[in-house]
Amino acid sequence: MKPVIHWFRQDLRLSDNPALVHAVKSGQPVICLYVLDDETPGDWAMGGASRWWLYHSLAALDARLRQTGGGLILRRGEAAKSIQDVIRETGANAIAWNRCYEPFAVARDKALKAELSAQGIAVESCNGALLAEPWEIKTGGGTPFKVYTPFWKALRAQIEPAASLRAPAKMAFHPGVKSDTLKSWKLLPDKPDWSKGFDGTPGEKGAHDALYDFFDHIGGYGTARDIPGTEGTSRLSPHLHFGEISPRQVWHAVRAREASPDGEKFLAEIGWREFNHQLLFHHPHLPTHAYDERFAKMKWRQNDKDFTAWTRGRTGVPIVDAGMRQLWQTGWMHNRVRMIVASFLIKHLLIDWRHGQRWFWDTLVDADLANNAANWQWVAGSGADASPFFRIFNPVLQGGKFDPAGTYVRRFCPELTAVPDKFIHRPWEAPEPPANYPAPIVDLAAGRDRALAAFRALPSR
């Protein structure tokens, strides 16, 4: 019998995988394929930290497939070409995949579907990554939503996620397909190996463990989620990005266990993920162009020294430095601190949000085109339903409010260990400022005034 290909992409799991279930149900032997395609994404080829996560996630998926008598076939190169190669080599007559929503993925998949269909190959694409397709939820006027709250309300009213699918109990694999070795892809960083402190356990089991660990402290999420010094959030973001768990599985697990305001608040964050994906789908230039076109005229500063200090966590502003060091050391940063460091870069340093977005792209294990672009634009004030530009986070006050005892700051900036709590977020005012910690690279009040002046110079609507 001719084989069917399941093309794994951002769905690195066996359970609740609609395209995989479709392929297995055909009764044909399956080829489980993953293609490392660095060509199609152009500027958005996967960053360094994501590659580390991908390596371990693929290893975990391969191990699971081996338990069921098969394994993962790895190919590298332009995906459309690699798939044609596998079809030619194996005689496969069908392929299934779960949809991705990055503009380059949408264009590639559309062209590939047309090409394969014309060749007589059966193509099935499914929704395995979102609660609702980006084109499903519309305003009364039939247009995509621009504001989050009515979007989430409409999604909740219109969509009742179907039950999650079980992992296929049995799979027949097509034998003898050539595969690269995972090691040969050199996904792990060396020179330097900055991944030693990376957090999280990539893979489907790691994803479910993270969710169930989170259930131990989901009560209180509404407030704990803003405290970076505690484990107040789920840490599901890389698992969701790589599709090691589906939002539908998260939805049902939360609904079954936690019908409380904390559970609802948590699901509302999953709602932001949905909102951002539909934004990117309808506004494919979101990672490169201001959604609010007035911001195209913004006079950004070009200052490599300040930008480097920001990336290294050497700005002299403790909550900013702790966040940037958490990112570098662990591949992840707390959401509250992401907002603070982004605001500091865009507003106090007046550096273009696209530079920050790019740094995050390379250093986050959860780097996600939709979530990264939409959130950077949200902080910049140029996004959809964004925080207004003139609302400028004061990092000293933010630190005092969300890390009052300096637990988080001291964890990542040990130079500040001996600074009294009173001065932990403004060590430059301490009676004895630590000698090995930099003075602030910008005067916070002057930086704020400069940002407001640049903003006022923009054309009004």
Ligand X SMILES: Cc1cc2nc3c(=O)[nH]c(=O)nc-3n(C[C@H](O)[C@H](O)[C@H](O)COP(=O)(O)OP(=O)(O)OC[C@H]3O[C@@H](n4cnc5c(N)ncnc54)[C@H](O)[C@@H]3O)c2cc1C
Tell me the catalytic residues.
Answer: 269, 272, 300, 335, 353, 376
Q: How far apart are CA 203 and CA 301, in angstroms?
A: 41
- Cα separation, 128 vs 130, in Å, equals 6
Q: Which of 240, 206, 243, 202 is nearest to 11 (CA)?
A: 243
Closer CB to ligand X, residue 276 or residue 326?
Answer: 276
Using DSSP, state whether 399 is helix, strand or coil: helix
Question: Considering the complex, what minimum distance in angstroms separates the CB of residue 393 from ligand X?
Answer: 11
Least distance in angstroms from the C-beta of 331 to ligand X: 11
Residues 325-344 contacting ligand X, CB under 6 A: 335, 338-339, 342
3-state SS, residue 350: coil
State the Cα angle at 337 between 429 and 450, rounded to 5°. 60
User: Do residues 458 and 298 lie in contact, with contact meaning Cβ atoms separated by under 8 Å?
Assistant: yes
- The reply to whether 347 sits near ligand X by the rule CB under 6 A is no
**Angle of CA points 306, 355, 382, to nearest 5°:** 110
Closer CB to ligand X, 133 or 180, in the complex: 133
CB contact at 8 A, 368 and 298: no
Tell whether residue 249 is a contact of ligand X (CB under 6 A). no
Report the alpha-carbon distance of residue 52 to residue 47 in Å, rounded.
9
- Total number of residues that touch ligand X (CB under 6 A): 27
Q: Pick from 87, 182, 207, 367 the residue near ligand X by CB under 6 A.
A: 367
| Span of 139-147, 264-272, 285-293, 423-431 interacting with ligand X by CB under 6 A | 264-272
Q: Least distance in Å: CB of 272 to ligand X?
A: 4
Q: Is 364 in the site for ligand X (CB under 6 A)?
A: yes
Q: Which of 93, 233, 315, 382 binds ligand X (CB under 6 A)?
A: 233
Task: Please report whether residue 375 would count as binding ligand X according to CB under 6 A.
Answer: yes
What is residue 138's three-state secondary structure? strand
- Applying CB under 6 A, among 13, 51, 174, 241 the residue interacting with ligand X is 241
Nearest 5°: phi and psi at 51? Answer: -65, -35
Q: Is residue 368 at the binding interface for ligand X, with CB under 6 A as the rule?
A: yes
The torsion of the CA quartet 45, 51, 55, 57, rounded to 10 degrees, works out to -90
d(CA 346, CA 350): 5
For 447, the token pair is: 């930086």
Could you tell me the strand order of the sheet in which 122-126 lies?
73-76, 30-36, 4-8, 94-98, 122-126
Among 39, 269, 292, 362, binds ligand X (CB under 6 A): 269
Q: What is the dihedral of CA 219, 224, 228, 230, to 10 degrees?
A: -50
> Which one among 208, 235, 248, 410 touches ligand X, defined by CB under 6 A?
235
Choice between 173 and 378, CB closer to ligand X: 378
Nearest distance from C-beta of residue 154 to ligand X, angstroms:
18
Q: Which residue in the set 50, 82, 237, 398 belongs to the binding site for ligand X (CB under 6 A)?
A: 237
Smallest distance from ligand X to CB 305, Å: 22
Question: 320 and 340 in contact (C-beta within 8 Å)?
Answer: yes
Interface residue with ligand X, options 344, 360, 389, 393 (CB under 6 A) = 360
Q: Does 270 bind ligand X (CB under 6 A)?
A: yes
Q: Which stretch binds ligand X (CB under 6 A): 120-128, 285-293, 372-380, 449-457?
A: 372-380
Among 53, 328, 344, 376, binds ligand X (CB under 6 A): 376
Instruction: Dig out the tokens for 168 from the structure.
Output: 């296929």
Rounded-to-integer distance, Cα 344 and Cα 418, Å:
25
Task: State which of residues 129, 227, 379, 416 lies at the interface with ligand X (CB under 6 A).
Answer: 379
Longest dimension (CA), the chain: 79
**For ligand X, which residue of 10, 372, 382, 398 counts as binding (CB under 6 A)?**
372
Beta bridge partners, 30, equal 4, 173
Spatial separation of the C-alpha atoms in residues 267 and 254, rounded to whole Å: 8
Kindly state the smallest distance separating residue 338's Cβ from ligand X, in Å: 4
The sign of the torsion formed by the CA atoms of 446, 450, 453, 455 equals negative
Phi–psi pair at 129, nearest 5 degrees: -120, -15
Site string for ligand X, 274-313 (x = CB under 6 A): --x-------------------------------------
Closer Cβ to ligand X, 33 or 365, answer by number? 365
Q: Does 254 bind ligand X (CB under 6 A)?
A: no
The residues binding ligand X (CB under 6 A) are: 225, 233-237, 240-241, 269-270, 272-273, 276, 335, 338-339, 342, 360, 364, 366-368, 371-372, 375-376, 379
